[in-house]
């Protein structure tokens, strides 16, 4: 699949939050979307996930304008928002089954699919407990499982490793690599080290502008391979 941003701008009132963004994203890649707080990452994700529409410009998925035809994006999308709001009185099975229904997944396949995702995120031992009793990391893993419901081809994760311990982060990194082989994976974060080992492609946002988009190797070339240093240069300049 292919996503094209074509001169996309977004204003809230008179305030420009995203300015004239053009770029192309392709299956088979992990994109690290980075930028300081307030740079416009969440707004860009809102446009991409059809929660909001651009003020100017268009976003195309395989040539289709997603503002005109939001279902073409929604039917292919898995999304982890920044603050996963789990329903405290549901168990993880109930929660995922509920969202599988909303996503329109075939009823016969929901149960095995949910079991498979619970296992993938090591949640099987906790399925009988209510989500209100889960730790932050466990809730995050439920959110990640939810984002993968229905085998989406475009996966957008806002701060995916929040609350996870080092082992869980490593597992997640390996999973991302596997998923991205055939999909578009976008990881948004303001913690640059989070994407150092994961993303091969980088999108640097600053004050609503794309300051860099391309490979990480190219990005760090003039900085002795030091991603943090390269990033600091781009966001400071």
Binding site for ligand ADP (CB under 6 A): 12, 15, 17, 35, 37-43
* Contact of 145 with 120, CB cutoff 8 Å: yes
In the complex, what is the shortest distance from the CB of residue 151 to ligand ADP, in angstroms, rounded to a whole number?
27
In the complex, what is the shortest distance from the CB of residue 21 to ligand ADP, in angstroms, rounded to a whole number?
12
Largest separation between any pair of C-alpha atoms in the chain: 54
Q: From 63, 78, 67, 60, select the one nearest 22 (Cα to Cα).
A: 60
In the complex, what is the shortest distance from the CB of residue 34 to ligand ADP, in angstroms, rounded to a whole number?
9
In the complex, what is the shortest distance from the CB of residue 190 to ligand ADP, in angstroms, rounded to a whole number?
7
How far from chain centre, in Å, is Cα 205?
15
* Contact of 56 with 224, CB cutoff 8 Å: no
Distance between CA 26 and CA 24 in Å, rounded? 7
In the complex, what is the shortest distance from the CB of residue 43 to ligand ADP, in angstroms, rounded to a whole number?
3
Between 34 and 123, CB nearer to ligand ADP:
34
Between 12 and 89, CB nearer to ligand ADP:
12
Between 41 and 141, CB nearer to ligand ADP:
41
Between 20 and 27, CB nearer to ligand ADP:
20
Between 43 and 201, CB nearer to ligand ADP:
43
In the complex, what is the shortest distance from the CB of residue 207 to ligand ADP, in angstroms, rounded to a whole number?
9
Between 37 and 85, CB nearer to ligand ADP:
37
């Amino acid at each position: 699949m292919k996503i094209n941003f074509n001169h996309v701008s977004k204003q809230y009132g008179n305030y420009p939050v995203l300015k004239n963004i053009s770029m192309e994203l392709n299956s088979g890649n992990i994109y690290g979307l980075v930028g300081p707080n307030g740079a416009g990452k969440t707004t860009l994700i809102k446009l991409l996930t059809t929660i909001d529409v651009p003020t100017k410009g268009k976003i195309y998925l395989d040539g289709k304008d997603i503002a005109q035809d939001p279902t073409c994006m929604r039917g292919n999308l898995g999304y982890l928002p920044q603050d996963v709001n789990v329903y405290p009185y549901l168990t993880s099975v109930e929660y995922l089954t509920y969202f599988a229904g909303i996503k329109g997944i075939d009823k016969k396949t929901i149960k095995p699919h949910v079991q498979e995702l619970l296992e993938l995120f090591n949640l099987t031992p906790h399925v009988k407990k209510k989500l209100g009793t889960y730790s932050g990391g466990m809730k995050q893993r439920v959110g990640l499982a939810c984002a993968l419901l229905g085998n989406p081809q475009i996966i957008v994760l806002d701060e995916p490793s929040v609350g996870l311990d080092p082992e869980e982060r490593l597992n997640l990194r390996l999973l991302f690599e596997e998923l991205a082989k055939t999909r578009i994976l976008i990881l948004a974060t303001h913690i640059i080290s989070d994407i150092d080992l994961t993303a091969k492609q980088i999108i640097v946002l600053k004050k609503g502008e794309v300051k860099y988009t391309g490979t990480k190797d190219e990005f760090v070339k003039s900085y002795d391979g030091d991603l943090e240093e390269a990033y600091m240069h781009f966001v400071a300049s």
